[in-house]
Amino acid sequence: MKQLKRNDVVNALVNALEPLDYVHTFWEGGAAGFERADKWSDVDAQAIVDDDRIEDVFKVVDEAVEKLGGTVAKFRLPEPTWHGHSQCFYKLKNASPFLLIDLAIMKEHTEADKFDVWATHGKPIVKFDKKGIVREVKIDPEAHSEAILKRRDILKNLFEIFYIMPMKETNRGNHIEAMFFYLGQTYRPLVEVLRMKHCPQRYNYATRYVYYDLPKDVVKRLETLTFFPPEEMETKIEEVRKWFLETANSISAAEIKHRLGE
């Protein structure tokens, strides 16, 4: 059977869901929402449906996926999920292994985040919207900057306590443990404050999208702090420490609001 393309998968989902009166809107997000979908991108799909029809929608999608040739694997997130919606992943038999379907189904009247802050999640590629539900929600610069500065202060405190922990295991010769301490307790806080400074709308995305969200010189420097032999651990920790403090102490509410307004 011919390998499925992205449009084949998206069109199959749209054709299955649009005729249903209890499915109100369907859109693509993820890489497509940032206009950078490529051959390695999955189908990051969302639908808003009647509150009591979630299981019906999954049944219809399952049938559509079977018509596409079925799955190698399928995983439905246990509920409640972290974001409050129902979500399932499908790895298709007749498609690239990267062309997963990542489907989130939302209740129409949910209070959970609908990923409608376009500055954060990208502009949705709307396939149908029968009720005009899909609308952009703007970031509140005042509330957002306040949340970032509060998180920044917590990070500074935690960093001071834990940034040196990788050396405990380095000194013991336990280099695998040392590296994971480093990535979690030393490196990750640095990335977070760099995001606060350069991309506050996604300050809590850790390393996700760093190649798109951070300046090229910052990413290049981060790479030197990501890949290195065990004997350089102490030197790298000290470099991270200096960069973390320099960055954290330079972040201001005014700068955050300016970035959000760009």
How far CA 199 is from CA of 17, 118, 206, 224, in Å, comes to 35, 14, 11, 21
User: Which CATH code for domain 141-261?
Assistant: 1.20.120
How far CA 74 is from CA of 10, 70, 101, in Å, comes to 17, 10, 9
How does pLDDT run across 212-246, given as a tens digit for each residue? 999 999 999 999 999 999 999 999 999 999 999 99
For residue 194, give both structure tokens. Answer: 């760099």
User: Domain map of the chain by residue range?
Assistant: 6-129, 141-261
Which pLDDT score, from 0 to 100, does residue 255 have? 95
Residue 88's closest CA among 108, 74, 106, 98?
A: 74
For residue 38, give both structure tokens. Answer: 């490529």
Angle at 196 between CA 220 and CA 86, to 5 degrees: 100
Burial class (CB in 10 A: 0-12, 13-18, 19+), 181: buried
Give me the residues paired with residue 28 across strands: 45, 125
3 state SS of 98: coil
Give dist(CA 33, CA 123) in Å, integer.
5
For the chain, how long is the longest CA-to-CA vector? 64
Q: Which whole number is the average pLDDT over 10-15?
A: 98
Peptide bond into 80 cis (omega under 30): yes
How does pLDDT run across 30-63, given as a tens digit for each residue? 999 999 999 999 999 999 999 999 999 999 999 9
Q: Which whole number is the average pLDDT over 100-127?
A: 96
Residue 259's closest CA among 212, 197, 208, 209?
A: 197
Work out whether strand 43-49 and strand 23-28 pair parallel, antiparallel, or are unpaired: antiparallel
**Beta sheet of 125-129, edge-to-edge order:** 71-76, 86-92, 101-107, 43-49, 23-28, 125-129
Which pLDDT score, from 0 to 100, does residue 1 have? 67
Q: Is the pLDDT of residue 20 over 70?
A: yes
> pLDDT averaged over the chain?
97
Work out whether strand 86-92 and strand 43-49 pair parallel, antiparallel, or are unpaired: unpaired
Fold (topology level) of 6-129: Beta Polymerase; domain 2 (3.30.460)
Q: Is the pLDDT of residue 105 over 70?
A: yes
Which pLDDT score, from 0 to 100, does residue 262 have? 73
Q: Which whole number is the average pLDDT over 238-258?
A: 97
Residue 212's closest CA among 5, 10, 33, 45?
A: 33
How does pLDDT run across 141-175, given as a tens digit for each residue? 999 999 999 999 999 999 999 999 999 999 999 99
What sections of 51-140 are H helices per DSSP?
54-67, 118-121
